Amino acid sequence: MLEHDVVIVGGGLAGCRAALEIKRLNPETSVALIAKTHPIRSHSVAAQGGIAAALKNVDPEDSWEAHAFDTVKGSDYLADQDAVEILTKEAADVIIDLEHLGVLFSRLEDGRIAQRAFGGHSHNRTCYAADKTGHAILHELVNNLRHNGVIIYDEWYVMRLVLEDGEAKGLVMYRIEDGALEIVRAKAVMFATGGYGRVYNTTSNDYACTGDGLAMAAIAGIPLEDMEFVQFHPTGLYPVGVLISEAVRGEGAYLINSDGKRFMEDYAPSRMELAPRDITSRAITRELRAGRGVNLDGSAGGPFIYLDLRHLGREKIMSRIPFCWEEAHRLLGIDAVNEPMPVRPTIHYCMGGIPVNTDGRVRASAESLTEGFFSAGECSCVSVHGGNRLGSNSLLECVVYGRRTGRTIAEYVKNRKLPSFDAQSYLTEAQEQMKQLLNQAGTLRINQVRQEFQDCMTEYCGVFRSQEVMEAGLLKLQEIKAKYEQIYLDDKHPAWNTELIEALELRSIMVVGEMILTSALNRQESRGSHAREDFSDRDDERFLQHTLAYYSPAGIELNYMPVVINRFEPKERKY
Ligand SMILES: Cc1cc2nc3c(=O)[nH]c(=O)nc-3n(C[C@H](O)[C@H](O)[C@H](O)COP(=O)(O)OP(=O)(O)OC[C@H]3O[C@@H](n4cnc5c(N)ncnc54)[C@H](O)[C@@H]3O)c2cc1C
């Protein structure tokens, strides 16, 4: 059995920032960081547009209060306002700290950090490194982990959380290189496992975003918060779904329908293309439904609309958003200097997740905490994004709450002993599970079942939802779930068995999908990204509260938790 003071699952921004903080505060602590990819290949590396902070470099009128208000309004008033206050107040400090770590931000003429406009933000406050911000930050963080003696287990797949008597005690993990199973115990376990874009069939997320941490926590008995809030990013490149950053609109690009019209004037006249993502994604979906989408031959009635950059000019495109130009060129052969890009909404971000307090401690229920268990980043829900996240607030959340959670853990493990549990029984169960998967005499390929599941989620729980459709979706989903028992694996070898990993990931996808759909069915209102055709208004009386969903193989139980409102009273949300 392996032993560490702290084990962190996840090598993205949140996990790395937490690990670094623990080592800074207490270099003697044994901190292990585990990731199923190499840390540098975590989805954080793909973040493009930037990270928000009221630095006032471009806009002296900005303030943390304005940032907090924009965030709460963007969330459709579901964000916890104490958590938002921390996020926005600590923002400037974490940016300066990143810069001291070596992150190369883009600059203004006078040398200060540059800041651009972003959707839903009332001031220019998004700091960036061209359109490769995640890359710039993650590389420096991972470098700093090594300097600080964090032990890295890369390409290990964590398959189970050991949680007994309300206490997280360790993990069961699998070394992808040779198929070895290991049990690790620790005084503190942290999940920073990122999002779940792959629950759907079209997403901006990478292949590893399968919601494993969410599923493992749920299976262990931890509730998941606000899972119905799934962010669609308005501009996924058609047909692949790859992201074209909001930075492109931040730099001035237009959204155009088949009539050549900037249709956002009908939906958010004051913010136009820079309205929040939920509003913009719905606007595009409405345009497509009304037959004002475009086809590949340029005719009307098609599946996408245009993102038009042509008026920005080559120099601006190549200096501020070169990566987006490159993506469209590489994937579709489009030169965005001269041609508009075909785009449509794509699954992008998970607002809900493992419920935590503002110190990163995982909740066991609305009133109680779990011992030894911590979480930060996209897999957690603190909740700073509520019903809809503003662009460039997620990287910020990872860094602010990664750092805070690191601090909490550094203190928490000081006087704690390693927990005890029966490691052998966990090992035997894991061996059995693997054997069962390898020897299953099914007739279905993993890919077939996964595709069916992803199509089901996309069709029955998309941008617009209704009771009838979601109920049908849940029935279908149960049928597809049953097919898990009928999959078979071609590869029986222990080394680099990616098929086996995909089988484990498929289980995560299925648990998370069911949590999303069930939570969505029960929220009978429209708020943020959750748009019900049968309940088109926001209903603060019944639903100004967080959903807590408890998983069990027999079914999902729902409970609700109050929202912290201490600064901004809920108002109608208009842009
Ligand atoms: C294309 C794209 C562009 C984006 N651009 C921006 C932006 O400009 N600004 C912004 O604020 N946000 C942006 N976002 C969102 C933001 O990047 C993410 O929310 C954030 O980076 C998530 O970081 P994280 O540390 O929580 O998780 P991730 O970076 O996703 O890392 C998750 C880690 O967990 C590990 N892991 C998961 N499951 C297991 C397992 N079972 N066993 C072992 N390890 C596991 C993975 O290997 C990985 O290391 C973007 C997202 C995408 C997809």
Give the CATH number of domain 423-537.
1.20.58.100
What percentage of the chain reaches a pLDDT higher than 70? Answer: 100
pLDDT at 74 > cutoff 90:
yes
pLDDT at 562 > cutoff 90:
yes
Residue 152 CB–ligand 1 contact under 6 Å: no
Q: Which of these, 161, 176, 557, lies nearest to 375 by C-alpha position?
A: 161
Question: Three-state SS for 287?
Answer: helix
Q: What is the pLDDT of residue 33?
A: 98
Can you tell me the mean pLDDT for 261-278?
96
Q: What is the 3-state secondary structure of 138-164?
A: HHHHHHHHHHCCCEEEECEEEEEEEEE
Q: What is the pLDDT of residue 553?
A: 85
pLDDT at 449 > cutoff 90:
yes
This prediction's pTM: 0.97
Q: What is the pLDDT of residue 284?
A: 96
Residue 43 CB–ligand 1 contact under 6 Å: yes
Question: Three-state SS for 494?
Answer: coil
Question: Three-state SS for 419?
Answer: coil
pLDDT at 490 > cutoff 90:
yes
CA 39 to chain centre: 16
Work out the mean pLDDT of the chain and round it to a whole number: 96
User: 194 CA to middle of ligand 1, Å?
Assistant: 5
User: 12 CA to middle of ligand 1, Å?
Assistant: 6
Q: Residue 555 — left, alpha, or beta (φ > 0 → left; ψ -120 to 50 → alpha)? A: left
Span(s) in the chain for CATH 1.20.58.100: 423-537
Q: What is the pLDDT of residue 545?
A: 98
Residue 398 CB–ligand 1 contact under 6 Å: yes
pLDDT tens, position by position, 205-255: 999 999 999 999 999 999 999 999 999 999 999 998 899 999 999 999 999
User: 349 CA to middle of ligand 1, Å?
Assistant: 9
Residue 520 phi, psi dihedral angles, 5° rounding: -65, -40
Residue 231 CB–ligand 1 contact under 6 Å: no
pLDDT tens, position by position, 419-448: 999 999 999 999 999 999 999 999 999 999
Residue burial 263-279, b: 16+ Cβ < 10 Å; e: rest? bbeebbeebbbbbbbbb
Span(s) in the chain for CATH 3.90.700.10: 234-346
pLDDT tens, position by position, 31-70: 999 999 999 999 999 999 999 999 999 999 999 999 999 9
CATH architecture of the domain 234-346 equals Alpha-Beta Complex (3.90)
pLDDT tens, position by position, 88-126: 999 999 999 999 999 999 999 999 999 999 999 999 999
Can you tell me the mean pLDDT for 515-540?
98
pLDDT band of 503, cuts 50, 70, 90: very high
What percentage of the chain reaches a pLDDT higher than 90? Answer: 98
pLDDT tens, position by position, 287-336: 999 999 999 999 999 999 999 999 999 999 999 999 999 999 999 999 99
pLDDT at 376 > cutoff 90:
yes
Could you give the CA distance from residue 350 to residue 228 in angstroms, rounded to a whole number? Answer: 9
pLDDT at 357 > cutoff 90:
yes
**Residues noted as catalytic:** 277
Question: CA angle 552-203-296, nearest 5°?
Answer: 145
